[in-house]
């Protein structure tokens, strides 16, 4: 049974793999720039989780949204002189290609807010009718003070929440708000030529960021998800606000486990578009096999992250060559203990560094000789579990 660290309770939780299906919602990209290694590291985490659950016999339904209704897209589109819809489509397609190149399985559903405007507006109206939301001008806000468990996902102090509100898309000091942590559900648009606005029962405008994910998760996975994932930068305000409004809409609990991936760093700072310290997946396509990039990312534990080291790719490219050679050998050691180690490592909060040690040791043992004719087949099974495709040319048709 997979054991994951739950951000909300700060304890380890067993993921029940006998549910049909196991429902996982992962917050996806805002498609206004290319996929980078920070994205890849996050989404690889949930791909590995999915593969291990399926290895246990579970059926998994994974939703990974594309946030195509969000302010950064409009700003970038204006800068480039593009229609925001064209920019979003192009970048989403590029992102999907890069994830396939890395051998991530496609999610069962990849919902977009633009395709759920009616459902989102209905949810906003339901929150207004329930008295947990209010109008400020033409905008609609969720009143955080009405939800007595606000803060249970992050565990943050009010002062820290307000600080993050200010730098992560919120407006804690807006005049007229009932509380500093109240967050936007619906943004009124007064310009009738704005391409990203819809006429709905709650007004002419567009949804706020948080309500989009609550509605899409409920629409495609039901009232409660087994695991809600994303980067640690989403703990607050995004996931905190999702939890509050989803609970107010009747989803209690909204998520049984909140799993968060630490950032990938470059120069000591989180890889981010704002800082410009990015390594784009597309720039690695012609230099390294996708298995080498996947292995390099798996050297980091998902809750630790760490400083990206470009020299790791040379090392993992050499590992790929060694694995290929081992797969071609006719015999080696009994692979069963190594497969057991890999499974145990993944069950232990997705301990990918430990899993990779078992892979390296089996590879080296096969190359050293042995007597078990199942060795290469056992190694191949481990690689399939980890999503590591070392076949020459692997990834060529995915990108």
pLDDT digits (tens, 9 = 90+) for 188-209: 999 988 889 999 999 999 999 9
DSSP summary character for residue 223 = S
pLDDT in tens, 139-176: 999 999 999 999 999 999 999 999 999 999 899 999 99
As a whole number of angstroms, the distance between CA 350 and CA 346 comes to 4
The pLDDT of residue 95 is: 96
pLDDT higher than threshold 90 for residue 255: yes
Q: β-strands 225-231, 22-26: how paired? A: parallel
Average pLDDT over residues 348-355: 98
Burial class (CB in 10 A: 0-12, 13-18, 19+), 377: exposed
Report helix, strand or coil for 4: strand
CA 130 to chain centre: 31
Closest CA to 91 of 68, 117, 64, 62: 68
Tokens representing 247 are 């609970």
On the question of a cis peptide bond just before residue 237, with omega within 30 degrees of 0, the verdict is: yes
What is the pLDDT confidence band of residue 397, given thresholds at 50, 70 and 90?
A: low
What is the pLDDT confidence band of residue 329, given thresholds at 50, 70 and 90?
A: very high
The pLDDT of residue 193 is: 85
In whole numbers, what is the pLDDT of the chain averaged over residues? 95
User: pTM of this prediction?
Assistant: 0.96
pLDDT in tens, 362-384: 999 999 987 888 999 999 999 99
Is the Cα torsion angle 64, 68, 70, 72 positive or negative in sign?
Answer: positive
pLDDT higher than threshold 90 for residue 270: no
The pLDDT of residue 290 is: 97
What is the pLDDT confidence band of residue 212, given thresholds at 50, 70 and 90?
A: very high
The pLDDT of residue 11 is: 98
b or e along 331-368 (b: 16 or more beta carbons within 10 Å of the residue's beta carbon)? ebbebeebbebbbebbbebbbbeebbebbeebbebbee
pLDDT higher than threshold 80 for residue 136: yes
pLDDT in tens, 82-111: 999 999 999 999 999 999 999 999 999 999
pLDDT higher than threshold 70 for residue 310: yes
Tokens representing 342 are 């890999």
pLDDT higher than threshold 80 for residue 398: no
As a whole number of angstroms, the distance between CA 105 and CA 51 comes to 9
pLDDT higher than threshold 70 for residue 399: no
pLDDT higher than threshold 90 for residue 77: yes
Tokens representing 51 are 């593969």
Average pLDDT over residues 116-120: 98
């Amino acid at each position: 049974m997979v054991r994951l660290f739950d951000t909300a309770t700060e304890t380890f939780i067993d993921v029940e793999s006998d549910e049909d299906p196991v429902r996982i919602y992962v917050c996806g990209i805002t498609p206004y720039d290319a996929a980078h290694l920070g994205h890849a590291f996050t989404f690889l985490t949930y791909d590995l989780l999915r593969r291990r659950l399926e290895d246990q016999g579970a059926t998994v339904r994974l939703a990974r949204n594309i946030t195509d209704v969000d302010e950064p897209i409009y700003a970038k589109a204006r800068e480039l002189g593009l229609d925001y819809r064209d920019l979003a489509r192009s970048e989403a397609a590029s992102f999907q290609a890069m994830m396939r190149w890395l051998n991530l399985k496609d999610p069962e559903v990849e919902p977009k807010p633009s395709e759920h405007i009616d459902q989102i507006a209905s949810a906003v109206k339901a929150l207004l009718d329930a008295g947990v939301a209010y109008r400020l001008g033409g905008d609609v806000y969720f009143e955080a003070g009405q939800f007595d468990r606000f803060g249970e996902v992050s565990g943050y102090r009010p002062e820290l929440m307000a600080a993050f509100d200010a730098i992560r898309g919120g407006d804690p000091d807006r005049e007229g708000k009932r509380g500093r942590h109240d967050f936007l559900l619906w943004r009124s648009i007064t310009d009738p030529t704005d391409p990203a606005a819809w006429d709905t029962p709650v007004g002419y405008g567009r949804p706020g960021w948080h309500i989009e994910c609550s509605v899409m998760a409920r629409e495609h996975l039901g009232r409660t998800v087994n695991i809600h994932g994303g980067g640690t930068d989403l703990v607050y305000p995004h996931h905190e606000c999702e939890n509050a409004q989803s609970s107010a809409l009747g989803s209690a609990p909204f998520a049984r486990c909140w799993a968060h991936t630490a950032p990938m760093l470059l120069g000591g700072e989180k890889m981010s578009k704002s800082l410009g310290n990015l390594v784009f997946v597309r720039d690695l396509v012609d230099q390294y096999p996708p298995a080498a990039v996947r292995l390099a990312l798996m050297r980091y534990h998902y809750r630790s992250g760490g400083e990206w080291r470009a020299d790791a790719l040379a090392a993992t490219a050499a590992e790929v060559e060694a694995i290929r050679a081992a797969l071609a050998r006719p015999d080696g050691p009994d692979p069963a203990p190594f497969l057991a180690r890999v499974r145990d490592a993944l069950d232990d909060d997705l301990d990918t560094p430990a899993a990779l040690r078992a892979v390296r040791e089996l590879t080296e043992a096969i190359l050293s000789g042995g007597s078990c004719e199942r060795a290469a087949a056992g190694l191949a099974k481990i690689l399939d579990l980890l999503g590591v495709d070392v076949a020459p040319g692997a990834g060529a048709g995915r990108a």
